[in-house]
Structure formats: C-alpha cells, structure tokens
C-alpha cells in the first residue's frame, strides 16, 4: 500500500469517526431534526476539521518514518598510500572533514585497497569510511576509480558509497551518495564534493 493510499485510509477513518459522533448526537437529542441550518453547517465544519486532523497525523507519521534527508556537501582530507604484497597492492588511509548542507559537520576516516595496477588501468578499488558527528556515526562501504588529469601529480577519484548503518542518530541508516574528489599524489591533499541521500528511521 503506497503512502498516498495510507493517507486516504486515514482520511476515510476520520470521516467515519466523525459521522459516528454525529449519529450519537442525533440519537441523544430527538429534536436534532429541527436544528437550524446554521447548526447543521457547523456540524459539517466539525466533521471536516476532524477529518483534516486525521489526514495531518497520517502525513506527519509517514514523513517521520521515512526520514529521507539530502546528504550533500564538501570534503577536505589528507591521505597516505602504502604498497605491499606480491602481486603488489596499495592501501590508502585518509582523514578529514566533511561539511554537509543538512546535517552539519563530520570528521571523516576512510581507507581503500586495490591492486597497484589499478592506478594505471582504472580498475575498481574497494573501501570503507566513517562519518563521525556529535550525535552519531555513519558507516559506508564504497568502490572507487581513479583517473589521470592534466596535472601528472593530481588524480581524479570517483567513489560510489553505500550507507550501511551507524550509531546514535544514524543507527540503521541507509542510503547512498557519490563523492568526486581530486588527490594530489605528492602532498596527499584531497578535496571534493558529494551528493546523495540518507534515510534515518524515526528521525527528522
């Protein structure tokens, strides 16, 4: 059953409830048939008000349950890379700050790992990250692809993140976002922006 159908069901129940109140009032008062027209109009207004209250409660409840929030903003970070193993792998460890348009500021910790050949071939790296706020932590897992830019010292990175729960306010959170950033391979400085949606159950 869709959200709109649920809202209509609440509206119908509100109308039935108000109709029942009206019938009981008529049974209690044998002169109800003789009420002036203005009193009947007032009764109809009361029924409409009750129905509207039911509809408002239904819509508010659906919005609170969904908790769908834009997850957009910018990120500034520093990262380091290590190479190990045979065939050689590279791992990236990074930390920084993300500023979102709706949820404020987060501290960010992230890691990626892939074959060293992925740096040249554009193969996918896999990673995970924590977005840490005062009221909870968002967990994500991700895939990332790097590609060269006009500057030989700078790599363009595109990451696809899936939100996989968290703590505090973000316990049970879901959603996804795309992060586009540039990394200076010499200094480790990275910056970029992200865009997506987070669904936080039971919170606004």
Locate the domains of the chain by residue range. Answer: 3-66, 69-199
Assess whether pLDDT exceeds 60 at residue 91.
yes
CA distance 158 to 110: 14
CA distance 166 to 179: 19
Mean pLDDT, rounded, for 12-18: 46
Mean pLDDT, rounded, for 116-123: 74
14, 58, 174, 181 from 63: Cα distances, Å: 19, 9, 16, 33
pTM, full prediction: 0.67
Structure tokens that stand for 202 in this block: 């039971």
Give the bridge partners for 164, in sequence order: 174
Q: What pLDDT sits at residue 122? A: 74
Mean pLDDT, rounded, for 171-180: 97
Q: What pLDDT sits at residue 67? A: 86
Assess whether pLDDT exceeds 60 at residue 20.
no
Average pLDDT in the chain: 78
Neighbouring C-beta atoms of residue 54, cutoff 10 Å = 20
Helix 37-66 × helix 3-28 angle, to 10°: 150
Assess whether pLDDT exceeds 70 at residue 139.
yes
* Residue-wise pLDDT tens digits, 185-196: 999 999 999 999
Domain at 69-199: CATH code: 2.40.350
Q: pLDDT class for 181, splitting at 50, 70, 90?
A: very high
CA distance 135 to 146: 32
DSSP readout, 4-69?
Answer: HHHHHHHHHHHHHHHHHHHHHHHHH-TTGGG--HHHHHHHHHHHHHHHHHHHHHHHHHHHHHH-EE
* Residue-wise pLDDT tens digits, 41-50: 555 555 555 4
Mean pLDDT, rounded, for 109-114: 95
CA distance 167 to 105: 16
Q: pLDDT class for 136, splitting at 50, 70, 90?
A: very high
Neighbouring C-beta atoms of residue 14, cutoff 10 Å = 22
Query: To which residue do tokens 């027209």 refer?
Result: 37
């Amino acid at each position: 059953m869709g959200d709109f159908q649920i809202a209509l069901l609440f509206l119908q129940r509100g109308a039935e409830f108000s109709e029942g109140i009206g019938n009981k009032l008529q049974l209690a008062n044998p002169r109800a048939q003789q009420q002036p027209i203005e009193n009947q109009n007032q009764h109809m207004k009361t029924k409409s008000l009750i129905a509207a209250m039911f509809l408002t409660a239904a819509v508010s409840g659906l919005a609170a349950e969904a908790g769908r929030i834009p997850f957009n903003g910018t990120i500034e970070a520093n990262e380091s890379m290590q190479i190990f193993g045979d065939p050689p792998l590279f791992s990236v460890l990074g930390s920084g700050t993300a500023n979102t348009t709706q949820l404020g500021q987060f501290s960010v910790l992230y890691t990626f790992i892939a074959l060293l050949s992925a740096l040249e071939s554009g193969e996918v790296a896999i990673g995970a990250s924590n977005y840490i706020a005062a009221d909870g932590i968002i967990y994500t897992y991700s895939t990332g692809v790097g590609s060269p830019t006009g500057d030989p010292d700078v790599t363009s990175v595109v990451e696809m993140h899936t939100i996989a729960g968290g703590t505090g306010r973000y316990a049970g959170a879901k959603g996804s976002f795309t992060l586009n950033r540039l990394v200076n391979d010499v200094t480790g400085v990275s910056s970029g922006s992200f865009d997506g949606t987070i669904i936080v159950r039971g919170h606004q």
